[in-house]
Structure 1
Amino acid sequence: MRGGLVLITPTRTIQRTPTGIPGLDELIEGGLLKSRTHLIAGETGTGKTIFSLQFLLHGVKIGERGIYMAIDEDRENVIRGAEGFGWDVSSLLEKNLLSITQIVPGFAEKFKKKYIEAAVGSVIVGIRQEMMRIGATRLVIDPIAPLLTKEEDLPFTREYIRELVLAIERELGCTTLIVSEVPTGSNTLSRFGVEEFLASGIITLGILRKGNEVYRTLCVRKMRWTAVDPVLYKFRIVRGEGIVVEGPISE
């Protein structure tokens, strides 16, 4: 007992899913929270897609297959872009170690007249089928906004996102990244203002101009049950490798 508080020695360790991103996992005690949903947020061009694919490719290296759900980009363009970056994803697709699927934007709009549970259920069924087909335990939805509905219907959209995230964690049990592209110059963490409250972890990517220097930045804004410092780190994007996190940006 210390100061009137009973200190309990933990009997369970929190399971982690390593991202494989050099310099990141050591900042978050070994990796993302296993079987939980994490938000990757940033303006356009900050490296969100590279981050997401790197997460999946590292999974393949350690025996964890993954699914990349492309929402607003053609599947073939994603494959072509990854190959051009130096990642041999074609062979992984052929071996069913990786899946890249394409979903039509505005998917939820088609189900809007139904109950939200039915709309979410339709997405979950599709993801589960693909997970079972290749045995995936990692999932990326990039980005999440076009999967939904028109932005002016915020009550429906926010409830839809809530139910979707809860259903993924409850029914699929995979470690998930949902990608959110925020408007340029915005201080928000997500498009609809609800994703950050549901996510177990939040990592923001950005671009910082400091004097004559321009830095790519990464910040772990939130990671439940993890001692993280809200420090801004700089990172590089290396062809064929991906994101490499370097030291903190000095004042």
Structure 2
Amino acid sequence: MSPIDRVPTGIPGLDEIIEGGLLKGRTHLVAGETGTGKTILSLQFLLHGVKLGERGIYMAIDEDKENIIKGAESFGWDLSRYVEMGAISIMQIVPGFAEKFKKKYIEAAVGSVITGIKREMERIGATRLVIDPIAPLLTKEEDIPFTREYIRELVLAIEQQLGCTTLIVSEIPTGSNALSRFGVEEFLASGIITLGLLRKSTQVYRTLCVRKMRWTAVDPVLYKFKIVKGVGVVVEGPLAE
């Protein structure tokens, strides 16, 4: 029996937990409240790919490209150099997407995103993809059913048409026990990594949990991690009780 192909994340302490890496060609969810390290982990995944000779795409939904580059630079990552090299592409939301999304044209909205990503994948030869976040954060309550359907169709299209190893980012509302913002992402993803902040007495710990990874023997325990400038997320080990 042939082993499942894995894509190493390069995140110290994480690949050991998930038998060597993410599932190749599948979609994985990174979820957590604001400030838990989701974007840093996602960029770290792309930057490690560059070290291995791979190329990646970071699709920004709610943030300006220049702000992402400046933020990475202040963290110790010269992202602009990799962008200039063509190793990493930072995509803004594709033209016309907002109007299609607003009018609830699911097929057109998904089609425009997939076409844009596919064109960029072919241009630079990308095999890694990050979409951060998976859907606009300023989604109105009445638009949530549509957004769920959009996410479902988008994830299916990514896996069927693109075949890249993907991280989709979902910001969980503060104080919520949910696994995602829209309540559908966790059912579509092949893997789920949740990031959190846990207060114990006077200490606050950063926590990581692999809630799901298909065909992988993972223990759903909390791991303590730190964020190291210029490195990213570093998983230190199980959180002591």
TM over 0.5: yes
TM-superposed CA distance for 1:116, in Å, is 2.4
Q: Which residue of 2 aligns with 1:238?
A: 228
Q: Which residue of 1 aligns with 2:37?
A: 47
Residue identity matched to 2:2: R
Q: Which residue of 2 aligns with 1:61?
A: 51
Q: Which residue of 1 aligns with 2:71?
A: 81
SS at match of 2:127: strand
SS at match of 1:236: strand
**1:162-221 per-position Cα deviation (integer Å, ceiling 9, x unaligned):** 110000000000000000001000000111110000000000000011112111000000
Structure 2 counterpart of 1:117, from 96, 107, 113? 107
SS at match of 1:129: helix
Number of residue equivalences: 241
SS at match of 1:122: helix
Structure 2 counterpart of 1:28, from 18, 34, 45? 18
Mark the CA change 1:131 to 1:151 in structure 2 (over 3 Å): closer, same or farther.
Answer: farther
Q: Is the 8 A contact 1:40 1:177 kept in 2?
A: yes
> In 2, Cα distance between the equivalents of 1:163 and 1:119?
10
SS at match of 2:2: coil
Give 5+ residue unaligned stretches, structure 2: none
TM-superposed CA distance for 1:147, in Å, is 7.5
TM-superposed CA distance for 1:153, in Å, is 2.2
TM-superposed CA distance for 1:160, in Å, is 1.1
Residue identity matched to 1:20: G
> In 1, Cα distance between the equivalents of 2:211 and 2:67?
31
Give 5+ residue unaligned stretches, structure 1: 1-10
TM-superposed CA distance for 1:113, in Å, is 4.8
SS at match of 1:226: coil
Mapped pair 1:213 → 2:203:
yes
> In 2, Cα distance between the equivalents of 1:115 and 1:22?
41
Mark the CA change 1:190 to 1:240 in structure 2 (over 3 Å): closer, same or farther.
Answer: same
Q: Is the 8 A contact 2:94 2:116 kept in 1?
A: no
Mapped pair 1:139 → 2:125:
no
Mark the CA change 1:70 to 1:105 in structure 2 (over 3 Å): closer, same or farther.
Answer: farther
> In 2, Cα distance between the equivalents of 1:100 and 1:86?
18
Mark the CA change 1:23 to 1:226 in structure 2 (over 3 Å): closer, same or farther.
Answer: same
Q: Is the 8 A contact 1:145 1:191 kept in 2?
A: no
Mark the CA change 1:115 to 1:90 in structure 2 (over 3 Å): closer, same or farther.
Answer: closer
Residue identity matched to 1:40: V
SS at match of 1:153: helix
Residue identity matched to 2:27: T
SS at match of 2:16: helix
TM-superposed CA distance for 1:43, in Å, is 0.3
> In 2, Cα distance between the equivalents of 1:196 and 1:109?
27
Mapped pair 1:129 → 2:92:
no
